[in-house]
Amino acid sequence: MSTMYAALLRGINVSGHRRVPMPELRALLTELGYGDVATHLQSGNAVFRSASGDESALAAGLERAVEEHFGFPVEILVRSGPDLAAIVEDCPFPADRIEGKHLHVTFFDRPVDAARYASLDAQAFLPEEFRLGRRELYLYAPEGLGRSKLAAALGRPALNRGLLATSRNWNTVERLVEMTRD
């Protein structure tokens, strides 16, 4: 039995730095023995099929292979297709009534306790809002991520110490769900 997964590469292809061309990434994943390999956009979204049921082991193996192939380290989170579908289903915001570019999901490498963000005065950021999921944070930023004061506050290193995190907008999350559907 095999499962479709999404690999979320963090911090690549930004302003011409840490370039990971998607055709090369697809070829690398295929060489590693993964099936049904595809990529989405240039921002580090790849899907693949694997018999492994261990997301952490898959991520660690991909990180090693990417560093060896491209010559620099890249942090990677892996999520199964069913997990991505659950993230969409569990969205605490009315995603069908929000532009996809105004809704974002930050994926974490482990569950996050609400106490981590207790110091934030959520009322001070309205109409922006966030909600925690299991291993993700949903962010509604109606003026866009680039203008979001809440996104900046949530991204402070002190709040995220010890976490691996990467974010995607809702349009990308929905597309990854489609691409990983069995």
- The CATH code that applies to domain 84-180 is 3.30.70
**31, 95 in Cβ contact below 8 A?**
no
Domain regions of the chain by residue span:
3-80, 84-180
**3-80, superfamily in CATH?**
SP0830-like domains (3.30.70.1280)
**Which sign does the torsion angle of CA 42, 32, 78, 80 carry?**
positive
Digit-by-digit pLDDT tens for the chain (182 residues) are: 899 999 999 988 777 778 999 999 999 999 999 999 999 988 789 999 999 999 999 999 999 999 999 999 999 999 999 999 999 999 999 999 999 999 999 999 999 999 999 999 999 999 999 999 999 999 999 999 889 999 999 998 888 899 999 999 999 999 999 999 97
